[in-house]
Structure 1
């Protein structure tokens, strides 16, 4: 449900409860910032002692103000927090920014207090950010309710870290980036990350949304909101390397980590996932303009062979390509460059820049115009000629003037072309590089940053967003092999013929129902193959009987499953599983299966349920995808049937929230159709 957050970001009036003249108190910093609004709205300062604060008369209470307050910032000790919020609601507050700490982060008692306050806020029709937050700011409405000043710009930052915002402020500056909004998330007792993300997506002054989150709360709702945002969302999160909190009892559970889940959710939602504040800045700098590369083909322009080779490696490591330029493009380059210049890709000026700085601009223009090029990376010394003390050129020389002129020409060419241009320079702070940056051309000092920036502008796989969860089905009461198998068969998944047996007589009766070869499985073992509880390729009744006696002597299982042995000769074994993540709900895993599933670890992930179309993309994204297309004379397997089976399994799991883990392994994919050979489920 869409929440109205207008009172948070553009209130009619503001009151700072806990305003103070003591610089050591947070109420002092908030009050000082709030007064920067230059009369945009009334700002009331409240201190229980009254008197003056920051030279202004302070009211002893909200009620003493004598008029309604639209937004109240509460920065008082925890003991007085509930009373302050209640008074704010009585005074008509539609929004509360709760700076006060000492609630859910302290344990169960604090969590109970927090829930009670949030319930009262909602019952009053108001909204609350926090508690335990550092405030918020909106540069588009002159609302300054955080302790620091943020440079205006188009980035909304939703963060669980205040210091991170300060670091990003420093990192943004060289790229001309600034903030439309800053919100410290705090404990998210009422207003959540998802609420804020959806509101920033609608905010005209916000062009991209940066998120730092340690706790998504409802990760699936976050992915859904990001997929619907309609503008770039970049996520920096912590703790992705730890295994998700569960007792893994299946291959799926053992192979699924928090990092896999977050990565899959971001891919499906079209979120740019980054690992560091530096990478977050790089991606935002690349996405700041409206330029998007039509493809992944990059032309590299360098003035030194070493820079060109390193750039090519970085570009390919970022998932892009460095194709050889077409003959017409090479011919055009030869007309503007000298004989020793390389024109294949990377294009190396080979010293011509020192003779004619204008050659940079001419080459950039030719590369941007080439039909086989989707984006351009210029790397090396450019910027050094006009850099004071920069070596070859030095400030004020003919070369420096020529470089400045070239920078203006490159900026003009960039404005006239829709393709991205990114620059790596040894002198990113030089006047010529600042000219490029002012024209919207991202400039970096590190080659890998330039490559990552280009990757952010290129098209990735379609991001459909999480598929809706189906309504819950009648819950499974038992999770044994045969119960799980029957439930999956009822959902539409095909298995070989099978019969449960308890003794030799039933074993032989099964052979009259279907012919061999046979498979014998000891039931009630979770990992039957690992424990030696599966016998394959039993040619007839005699071999089946012998295997039964041997297995029963070892396990003494109460029952066994006799099954028709599938023909494995022309098929590929896959694993399809679903693990239930506490934040993102059901998460699907698809990969190369069989007994080597955990050893090979060739798997991909997605939020479940997975549509058949999405499943096809996942299967084609496996490292061993070539096996599915047929190799060494083997026929290609039925990918369409495999994708349909993935859709069936994941939809079944998503409809059964009582299932903690479920997997089908192996799922045999043959040239015509699929067959599930084994399955297991673990109830929550």
Structure 2
């Protein structure tokens, strides 16, 4: 449900409860920043001792103000927090920013207190940010209720860390980027990350949304909100390794989610996932200009062979292509450059820039104009000629002036082309590089940052479907509820999946030798015998394959029953394994992202090979095929060493049916088909299991 956050970001009036003259108190920092609004709205400073705060008369209570206050910042000791919230609501507050800490992040008792406060706020029809937060700011409405200044710009920053927010500001400043909004998430007792992403998506002053989160709350709702945002959402998260997970659990009561699930959710929702504040700033800078590449082909352009080779390696390591340019394009470039220049890709001026600085601009323009190139990386010395210190000629020399003129020509060419240019320069602060930044061309000191920027600007790799058409964009699908089943034993799970459209070989559950002989006469051999009610049947010796006839089946049953004493067994028709590949398809319930699908190479070696892919469940058949073709072993699906190609479309349909059936039943902690046999003739599920939640 959409929430109206106007009272949070553009309130009619503000009160800071706990405002102080003491610089050691957070109420002082908030009050200092709040005064910067310079009369935009009524501002009331409240201190129970009265007197003055920062030269302004302070009210002794909210009630003493004598008029309603729409937004109240609460920065008081923990013992007085509940009373402060009640007083704010009684005075008509529609939004409360709770700086006070000591709630869910301390454990179960704190969570109970926090929940009780949040319930009262919601019942009053108000909003609560926090508790345990560092404030909010909105540069578009001159609302300054955080302890630090945030330079104005187009990025909304939603963060569970104040220091990381400050570092991000430092990293974005050289790119000329700033913030439309800042919100410290705190414990998200009421206003959640999902609420804020949805509101920032509607906010006209926001071009991109940056998130640092340890606790996603409802992770699936976050992914869905990001997918609908219509603006770039860039995420930095913690908790994907053991050490960071321990840290996250001790900070703001966070619950972390496994890295595989987070990666899958971000991919499906179109969220740019980053690992460090530096990478977050790099991606935001690349996306801000709005020029996206139509493909993943990069032309590397340099003025030194070493820089070109290193940059080409960095681009290819990042998953992009550095293709050799065609003979006609190489001929065109050769006409622009001198004989020593390399024109294959990387394109290397080989010293011509010192003779003719405008050769930089002519070459960039030629590469951008080519249909063979989706993006250009300019790497090396460019910027050095016009640098204030060092370089050939310095700022006043002819080379410096020529390079600056070339930069201005590039700055004209790039917006007109619509294609992205990313620059790596030894002199990123030079006047030439500043001229490029002024029109939104990303400039980086490190080549790995430039390569990451290019990845952010490129479309995701999308393997074609069996028909050859590209897969559609991925979107998280909501699970559809279904009637719960009882004890999900082996045959109950099989019937559920068969009803969903997943094919299985004929099978019968038996509890005696007479029933076993009757089952053997219902369908022909060879047979498979399985001991039921064992979680990992193969590991326990509870599966026997290729039993040729009834007598072999009876003998196997007698031996197995003597060893295992299982209450029942399954007799099944043996599938032809000769020309197939075994896959695994599973769904488990993640505590933050809900049902998550896994597909990969299956059978008894699943854990050893580890060739699996994840997605939010359920998945469509198109999405399933994309996952399958993204496996390291995907070549097996198309046939190798003379084997025929497999029916990948049938496998994808089975994956879609399995994930839909599992996602519809949250009473299953896990549901798994292993193996799913894929052959040239179709797909067949050979075993399944379900684990109750």
Q: What's the CA shift string for 1:380-411, capped at 9, x where partnerless?
A: 11111122333434332221121111111111
Aligned to 1:263: 263
- Quote how far apart the aligned CAs of 1:661 are: 0.7
Is residue 549 of structure 2 the alignment partner of residue 506 of structure 1? no
Aligned to 2:235: 235
Aligned to 1:251: none
- Quote how far apart the aligned CAs of 1:243 are: 12
Is residue 628 of structure 2 the alignment partner of residue 599 of structure 1? no
Match of 1:577 among 586, 603, 607: 586
Aligned to 2:111: 111
CA contact (8 A) 1:378 1:424 kept: yes
Q: What is the alpha-carbon distance in structure 2 between the residues aligned to residue 544 and residue 358 of structure 1? A: 83
Aligned to 1:252: none
For structure 2, the 5+ residue unaligned runs are: 246-255, 463-471
- Quote how far apart the aligned CAs of 1:595 are: 1.0
- Quote how far apart the aligned CAs of 1:622 are: 1.4
Is residue 524 of structure 2 the alignment partner of residue 520 of structure 1? no
Is residue 550 of structure 2 the alignment partner of residue 564 of structure 1? no
- Quote how far apart the aligned CAs of 1:480 are: 2.3
336-345 vs 518-527, which moves further:
518-527
CA contact (8 A) 1:242 1:259 kept: no
553-562 vs 386-395, which moves further:
386-395
361-370 vs 503-512, which moves further:
503-512
- Quote how far apart the aligned CAs of 1:328 are: 2.5
CA contact (8 A) 2:168 2:277 kept: yes
Q: What is the alpha-carbon distance in structure 2 between the residues aligned to residue 79 and residue 523 of structure 1? A: 57
**Match runs of 1:166-177 below 5 Å:** 166-177=166-177
Q: What's the CA shift string for 1:127-167, capped at 9, x where partnerless?
A: 11011100010000000000000010000000000000110
Q: What is the alpha-carbon distance in structure 1 between the residues aligned to residue 390 and residue 599 of structure 2? A: 53
Is residue 282 of structure 2 the alignment partner of residue 282 of structure 1? yes
Aligned to 1:95: 95
CA contact (8 A) 1:244 1:258 kept: no
Q: What's the CA shift string for 1:470-509, capped at 9, x where partnerless?
A: 02x2222213222221222222221111122233332222
**Match runs of 1:655-666 below 5 Å:** 655-666=664-675
CA contact (8 A) 1:157 1:181 kept: yes
- Could you say if the C-alpha distance between residues 581 and 47 of structure 1 is closer, same or farther in structure 2, counting changes exceeding 3 Å? same
Aligned to 2:252: none
Aligned to 2:76: 76
Is residue 380 of structure 2 the alignment partner of residue 370 of structure 1? no
Aligned to 1:549: 558
- Could you say if the C-alpha distance between residues 242 and 265 of structure 1 is closer, same or farther in structure 2, counting changes exceeding 3 Å? farther
Aligned to 2:501: 492
- Quote how far apart the aligned CAs of 1:215 are: 0.2
Q: What is the alpha-carbon distance in structure 2 between the residues aligned to residue 586 and residue 241 of structure 1? A: 21
Aligned to 1:442: 442
Q: What is the alpha-carbon distance in structure 2 between the residues aligned to residue 244 and residue 661 of structure 1? A: 26
CA contact (8 A) 1:227 1:463 kept: no
Q: What's the CA shift string for 1:256-308, capped at 9, x where partnerless?
A: 97111001100110000000000000100000011010111100101111111
Q: What is the alpha-carbon distance in structure 2 between the residues aligned to residue 633 and residue 212 of structure 1? A: 50
**Match runs of 1:383-398 below 5 Å:** 383-398=383-398
- Could you say if the C-alpha distance between residues 463 and 158 of structure 1 is closer, same or farther in structure 2, counting changes exceeding 3 Å? farther
Q: What is the alpha-carbon distance in structure 1 between the residues aligned to residue 139 and residue 352 of structure 2? A: 46
SS of the equivalent of 1:416 reads: helix
Q: What is the alpha-carbon distance in structure 1 between the residues aligned to residue 359 and residue 192 of structure 2? A: 53
**Match runs of 1:420-431 below 5 Å:** 420-431=420-431
CA contact (8 A) 1:227 1:464 kept: no
Q: What's the CA shift string for 1:201-230, capped at 9, x where partnerless?
A: 000000000000000010000001000000
- Quote how far apart the aligned CAs of 1:242 are: 4.8
CA contact (8 A) 1:243 1:257 kept: no
CA contact (8 A) 2:239 2:257 kept: no
SS of the equivalent of 2:417 reads: coil
TM-score (norm 1): 0.96
Match of 1:464 among 469, 474, 478: 474
CA contact (8 A) 1:609 1:654 kept: yes
Is residue 232 of structure 2 the alignment partner of residue 226 of structure 1? no
437-446 vs 223-232, which moves further:
437-446
Aligned to 1:160: 160
Q: What is the alpha-carbon distance in structure 1 between the residues aligned to residue 420 and residue 556 of structure 2? A: 66
Match of 1:674 among 677, 683, 688: 683
Aligned to 1:181: 181
Aligned to 1:295: 295
- Could you say if the C-alpha distance between residues 193 and 204 of structure 1 is closer, same or farther in structure 2, counting changes exceeding 3 Å? same
Q: What is the alpha-carbon distance in structure 2 between the residues aligned to residue 390 and residue 138 of structure 1? A: 42
638-647 vs 171-180, which moves further:
638-647
**Match runs of 1:534-545 below 5 Å:** 534-545=543-554
- Quote how far apart the aligned CAs of 1:234 are: 0.2
Q: What is the alpha-carbon distance in structure 2 between the residues aligned to residue 188 and residue 458 of structure 1? A: 34
- Quote how far apart the aligned CAs of 1:115 are: 1.0
Aligned to 1:620: 629
Q: What is the alpha-carbon distance in structure 2 between the residues aligned to residue 159 and residue 389 of structure 1? A: 38
214-223 vs 518-527, which moves further:
518-527
274-283 vs 615-624, which moves further:
615-624
653-662 vs 428-437, which moves further:
428-437
Q: What is the alpha-carbon distance in structure 1 between the residues aligned to residue 257 and residue 149 of structure 2? A: 38
Q: What is the alpha-carbon distance in structure 1 between the residues aligned to residue 603 and residue 321 of structure 2? A: 34
- Quote how far apart the aligned CAs of 1:635 are: 1.7
Is residue 407 of structure 2 the alignment partner of residue 407 of structure 1? yes
**Match runs of 1:626-637 below 5 Å:** 626-637=635-646
CA contact (8 A) 2:583 2:678 kept: yes
Aligned to 2:358: 358
**Match runs of 1:247-262 below 5 Å:** 258-262=258-262
CA contact (8 A) 1:376 1:422 kept: yes
SS of the equivalent of 2:157 reads: strand
Is residue 539 of structure 2 the alignment partner of residue 530 of structure 1? yes
- Quote how far apart the aligned CAs of 1:543 are: 2.2
RMSD (Å) for aligned C-alpha atoms: 1.6
Instruction: Name the count of aligned residue pairs.
Output: 673
Aligned to 1:146: 146
Q: What is the alpha-carbon distance in structure 1 between the residues aligned to residue 382 and residue 454 of structure 2? A: 19
CA contact (8 A) 1:244 1:581 kept: no
Aligned to 1:248: none
**Match runs of 1:320-339 below 5 Å:** 320-339=320-339
- Quote how far apart the aligned CAs of 1:415 are: 2.4
Match of 1:652 among 661, 664, 669: 661
